[in-house]
Structure 1
């Protein structure tokens, strides 16, 4: 279920998806790490967007004065 949820078809893989490979990683762990990495980037982008919107509002108020 976990593999399917993160985009790995457990019926169509040529390796064991939960056991570590020769590098000590597993495909499922790699997908989970990728997902968390993207989540962190999204949070940073949202914060930056909020900062820019606040700066924009301040600049607009200064222009109107």
Structure 2
């Protein structure tokens, strides 16, 4: 979805809590790893929910909620 180098290998999932999407997100992350779609054998899942929160990703790849 994004071409940001520090966000590569990240699966985003909206309405995470409302729709109980932990299993869905983990399945996508596992599939990305199995199919070699990530670099370095690492993948991350970010579950977001309505309510005014945000995730800040700095130039070093450090995320802060």
Normalised to the residue count of structure 2, the TM-score between the two structures is: 0.29
Which structure dedicates a bigger proportion of its chain to strand?
2
Which structure dedicates a bigger proportion of its chain to helix?
1
Larger radius of gyration: 1
Larger RCO: Structure 1 or Structure 2 (Cα < 8 Å, ≥ 6 residues apart)? 2
Normalised to the residue count of structure 1, the TM-score between the two structures is: 0.29
